[in-house]
């Protein structure tokens, strides 16, 4: 019997130094030492899991967190969504500031639409949360686009 809960980390990346990768790696470590509600362990998936070591190194050297040299924003989103929808992901871990991220809001919308469980993860640990409604997330997404 598989005693793992597959969890995807969603959070802000664009415009943050090093595309916020250190926060994703920290969250992965925290999740690896935490337990989901109901027991078992987390199996962690991150947006950068599809990237090569060279691409991750280039991103970690980017202090502006914009204009990734290896791929477009759209390609990154497409690959992130593939992970979210094809790896039997049952939960989403939300990093602080996810509400300000267009990509993370889309990931949350996908999670709400596919009945995922949500957790907040930060330096204090992991806490199961009840996400806001799909309508709220859509409203926040439209606001971030200026419409």
CATH of the domain at 114: 3.40.50
Q: What is the tens place of the pLDDT at every residue in 22-33?
A: 999 999 999 999
Alpha-helical runs (H) found in 61-133 = 73-86, 102-113
Residues 116, 58: Cα–Cα separation, whole Å: 32
Q: Distance from CA of residue 104 to its chain's centroid?
A: 6
Full-model pTM: 0.86
Specify the pLDDT at position 23. Answer: 96
Residue ranges making up the domain that contains 51:
4-144
Coil/strand/helix, residue 21: helix
Q: What is the tens place of the pLDDT at every residue in 38-77?
A: 889 999 999 999 988 988 888 888 888 887 767 788 888 8
Of 71 and 84, the one with more pLDDT: 84
Report the domain count for the chain: 1
| pLDDT value at 91 more than 60 | yes
Mean per-residue pLDDT for 69-90? 87
- Provide φ and ψ at 43, rounded to 5°: -110, 115
The secondary structure of the chain in percent helix, strand, coil, rounded to multiples of 5, reads: 45, 20, 35
């Amino acid at each position: 019997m598989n005693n793992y809960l597959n969890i995807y980390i969603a959070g802000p990346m664009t415009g943050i130094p090093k595309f916020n990768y250190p926060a994703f790696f920290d969250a992965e470590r925290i999740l690896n030492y935490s337990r989901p509600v109901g027991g078992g362990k987390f199996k962690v998936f991150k947006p950068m899991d599809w990237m090569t070591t060279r691409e991750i190194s280039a991103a970690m050297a980017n202090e502006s967190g914009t204009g990734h040299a290896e791929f477009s924003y759209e390609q990154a989103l497409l690959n992130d969504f593939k992970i979210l929808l094809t790896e039997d992901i049952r939960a989403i871990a939300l990093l602080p500031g996810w509400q300000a991220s267009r990509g993370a809001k889309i990931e949350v919308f996908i999670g709400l639409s596919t009945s995922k469980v949500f957790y907040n993860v930060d330096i204090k640990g992991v806490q199961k949360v009840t996400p806001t409604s799909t309508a709220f997330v859509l409203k926040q997404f439209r606001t971030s686009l200026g419409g």
